[in-house]
């Protein structure tokens, strides 16, 4: 396999850093889901999945990753050998990459320490004793389950040579170690001392810091990473970045080994996440998901404000402020509810004049830290204490709601724009999570074509379509006046009112402040 158009197209895969490459057969799809979930949680999305059988192609494409169709004869030796031409083609195509087996689970992001801080052409994790000839000579071996490659002629030539050797050896790790050994690779321990790592009644040499090797005949600089960073033993320490324990070959036998290290979450159904912003359908989906949870026996959890870690054990998680530090580890499906930012402003102003939410009617202006709900809303609890003190002082001894009620419409809208609406705009502006698992849905689409849009939401969340009738009561167009009056979150049937409610000057002022958010969400501006 030589450099070809598919290699060049890989540069278009979004995401920072080197391309992360893995090889998948249909029997390993469950392992892929676990591995992939850990990478997503770390924000690593620049992934190429090489499908080794036809069934895996469609399954991987459905998971939203870039897929390359490859193949093998079904034997383990051929599987290993077939990987090598792919590595050679990537190196020839100028694409830096990291190869990771599916049972090498990324617990922390290894790229800063194992790639960005290393200058070698080849950066390898450490194996145990295989192949024996390399182990007997130097006391350690390089592992092919996790390694990184800087593309160039030298690394391309190396993998072509390894491919030829592996065709005889039927083992890529044997071929790599023996080629480097026979080429006279010199390892420089420097001032560091190796130590014995016991395994299976034997011991191999490990090092506390990266070990540098030089292979002048092949024009390669090589780095061996510390074993504790990516251990092959069933161990996890404060230094562990990637869990890659030796485990039985059958894929069904690997999850218990990984689970013992906290590297596996076995949830057959996806976790459903509902991201909303204030006045973008929060109450609607709270009602819908609680009905579904009761019907299906699923747990429903609300996580307010900035969320460092989404509850891994909840079946449905409502996130009313869309402020998260990481995506879930377990497989998930999510929607993010959006609304025209100008209507978020208007709706927030009208709602805050009549709501009984604790933060909005709060009259406790104590400045003692920590300042938490209800002195400030959950959406602001993560802000610095100085910001929260300034907010409380700025209320002038009156609740947020009273500030709105004491003002005329123009000054009240200005107060709201500088207050809660500004926080919502900040959350919209700083959203960085983009992946196929998260479907953006406009509230305008839901209210305009409720049944079709809700059906699309159910399909995306992998919810039974038979339960769609449970959601009908939340359709504002189906509500009678009494039902509408019972919902304080709903001010009117019309979802978009800003053109009638705001003056041209107010619209222009808003778009001057937050036009970037309007543009980012794909809404048209009202002013030039």
Residue pLDDT, tens place only, 64-77: 899 999 988 888 88
- Does pLDDT of 188 surpass 60? yes
Predicted confidence at residue 1, as pLDDT, reads 43
Question: Given this model, what pLDDT does residue 75 score?
Answer: 86
What does the pLDDT read at residue 175?
96
Q: How far is Cα 227 from Cα 426, in angstroms, rounded to an integer? A: 43
Mean pLDDT of all residues in 410-416: 98
Which pLDDT value is given to residue 356? 94
Which residue from 333, 337, 289, 284 is spatially nearest to 445, judged by alpha carbons?
A: 337
Structure confidence at residue 2 (pLDDT): 46
Which residues have C-beta within 8 Å of that of residue 356, sequence separation ≥ 6?
Answer: none
Share of the chain above pLDDT 90, in %: 71
How much is the pLDDT for 528? 64
pLDDT value at position 156? 96
Kindly report, residue by residue over 272-324, the tens digit of the pLDDT.
999 999 999 999 999 999 988 887 778 999 999 999 889 988 989 999 999 99
Cα–Cα separations (whole angstroms), residue 415 to 271, 300, 346, 385, 526: 38, 35, 12, 21, 22
Read off the pLDDT of residues 361-389 as tens digits, 9 standing for 90 and up: 999 999 999 999 999 999 999 999 999 99
Q: How would you classify the pairing of strands 66-69 and 47-51?
A: parallel
Q: Are 234 and 261 in contact (CB under 8 A)?
A: yes
Query: Can you read off the two tokens belonging to residue 324?
Result: 């998260």
Q: How many CB atoms lie within 10 A of CB 365?
A: 16
- Tell me, what's the pLDDT at 505? 96
Q: Give 99's strand partners.
A: 21, 147
pLDDT of residue 477: 76
pLDDT reported for residue 98: 98
Q: How far is CA 98 from CA 18, 90, 179, 197, 207, in A?
A: 7, 11, 20, 25, 22
Q: How many CB atoms lie within 10 A of CB 137?
A: 12
Q: To which residue do tokens 């104590």 refer?
A: 366
Q: How confident is the model at residue 492 (pLDDT cuts 50, 70, 90)?
A: low
The pTM for the full model equals 0.54
Average pLDDT over residues 412-427: 98
């Amino acid at each position: 396999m030589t450099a070809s158009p598919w290699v060049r197209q890989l540069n278009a895969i979004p995401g920072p850093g080197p391309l992360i490459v893995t090889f998948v057969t249909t029997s390993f799809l469950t392992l892929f889901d676990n591995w992939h979930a850990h990478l997503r949680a770390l924000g690593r999305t620049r992934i190429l999945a090489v499908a080794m059988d036809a069934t895996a192609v469609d399954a991987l494409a459905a998971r939203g990753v870039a897929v390359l169709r490859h193949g093998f004869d079904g034997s383990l030796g051929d599987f290993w050998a077939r990987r090598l031409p792919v590595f050679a083609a990537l190196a020839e195509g100028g694409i830096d990459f990291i190869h990771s087996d599916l049972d090498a689970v990324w617990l922390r992001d290894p790229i800063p320490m194992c790639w960005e801080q290393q200058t070698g052409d080849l950066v390898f994790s450490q194996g145990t004793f295989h192949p024996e000839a390399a182990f007997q000579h130097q006391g350690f071996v390089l592992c092919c389950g996790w390694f990184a490659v800087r593309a160039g002629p030298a690394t391309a030539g190396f993998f072509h040579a390894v491919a030829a050797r592996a065709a005889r050896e039927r083992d890529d790790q044997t071929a790599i170690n023996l080629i480097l050994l026979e080429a006279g690779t010199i390892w420089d321990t420097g001032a560091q001392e190796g130590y014995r790592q016991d395994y299976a009644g034997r011991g191999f040499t490990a090092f506390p810091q990266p070990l540098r090797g030089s292979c002048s005949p092949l024009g390669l600089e090589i780095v061996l990473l510390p074993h504790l960073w990516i251990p092959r033993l069933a161990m996890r320490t404060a230094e562990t970045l990637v869990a890659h324990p030796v485990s039985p070959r059958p894929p069904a036998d690997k999850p218990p080994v990984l689970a013992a290290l906290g590297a596996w979450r076995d949830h057959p159904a996806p976790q459903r996440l509902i991201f909303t912003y204030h006045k973008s359908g929060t109450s609607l989906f709270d009602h819908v998901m609680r009905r579904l949870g009761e019907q299906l026996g699923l747990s429903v959890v609300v996580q307010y404000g900035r969320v460092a870690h989404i509850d891994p054990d909840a079946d449905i998680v409502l996130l009313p402020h869309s402020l998260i530090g990481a995506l879930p580890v377990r497989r998930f499906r999510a929607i993010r509810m959006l609304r025209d930012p100008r209507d978020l402003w208007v709706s927030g102003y009208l709602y805050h004049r009549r709501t009984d939410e604790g933060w909005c009617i709060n009259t406790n202006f104590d400045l003692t830290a920590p300042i938490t709900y209800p002195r400030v809303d959950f959406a602001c609890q993560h802000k610095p204490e100085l910001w929260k003190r300034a907010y409380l002082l700025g209320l002038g001894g009156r609740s947020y709601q009273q500030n709105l009620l004491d003002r005329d419409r123009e000054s009240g809208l200005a107060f709201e724009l500088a207050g809660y609406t500004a926080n919502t705009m900040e959350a919209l502006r700083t959203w960085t999570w983009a992946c196929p698992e998260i479907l953006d849905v406009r509230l305008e689409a839901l209210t305009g074509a409720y049944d079709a849009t809700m059906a699309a939401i159910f399909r995306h969340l992998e919810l039974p379509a038979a339960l769609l009738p449970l959601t009908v009561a939340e359709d504002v167009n189906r509500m009678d006046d009494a039902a509408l009056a019972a919902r304080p979150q709903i001010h009117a049937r019309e979802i978009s009112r800003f053109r009638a409610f705001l003056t041209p000057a107010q619209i222009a002022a808003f778009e001057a402040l937050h036009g970037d958010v309007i543009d980012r969400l794909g809404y048209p501006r009202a002013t030039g």
